[in-house]
Amino acid sequence: MIQIQLKKQIRDHFLKRRNSLTAKAVSDFSKQINENIESQDLFKSSLNIGTYISIKNEPFIERKRDKIYSCPKIIGKEIDFFKIQKNFNKGIFGIPEPTPSIPVDIFKLDIILIPLVAFNKKLERIGYGKGFYDKFLARFNNAIKRPHFWGIAYDFQIVEEIFGDKLDIKLDKVITETNIYE
């Protein structure tokens, strides 16, 4: 119970702080985050990128012409990834989802860029609390080959607390506007 309360307090604090960012700050930080993503050798050599469509002041992810991008869509109580098209419709939580919906083989994704609300140096993440990404990432638990999981955040979203539990999936790295945590 303490763990749930701690996560809720952290989530509430950082969502409020992120929501207070100006449009200019989001734009400037996002530009730096994208430069850090693009500087990674693995990104340079990857073709299939799973990403998110930013909402609520999340960092905006630039899509490069030489990559194939897909993003999540909620199907029932889970997410799956679909090729990004030119058009989007608002999904269940107001999150833009690609239309038409062309599914991708998630095991062929090279990297999945994952939004988060907070993270720690152990690369544990706190999301919005619905567990969609944790359930999705758990699908790779016994996979021989899986995508690399990169959290995308702002510097101020790091916390000292250890809050991971058995259902949480650790990230491979977290990229912020000034740091790359591995």
Q: Which helix (H) or strand (E) holds 44?
A: helix 41-45
Strands 96-99 and 87-90: antiparallel
What is the reported pLDDT for 1?
Answer: 47
What is the reported pLDDT for 169?
Answer: 74
pLDDT under 50 in the chain at which residues? 1
Residue ranges with strand state E in 23-139: 48-50, 68-75, 78-83, 87-90, 96-99, 111-115, 118-119, 125-126
What is the reported pLDDT for 130?
Answer: 84
Decide: 67 and 47 in contact? Cβ < 8 Å.
Answer: yes
What is the reported pLDDT for 5?
Answer: 82
What is the reported pLDDT for 64?
Answer: 96
Question: What is the residue extent of each domain of the chain?
Answer: 2-181
Decide: 125 and 171 in contact? Cβ < 8 Å.
Answer: yes
What is the reported pLDDT for 162?
Answer: 73
Homologous superfamily of the 2-181 domain (CATH): NagB/RpiA/CoA transferase-like (3.40.50.10420)
CA–CA dist 118, 73 (Å, integer): 22
Q: What is this structure's pTM?
A: 0.93
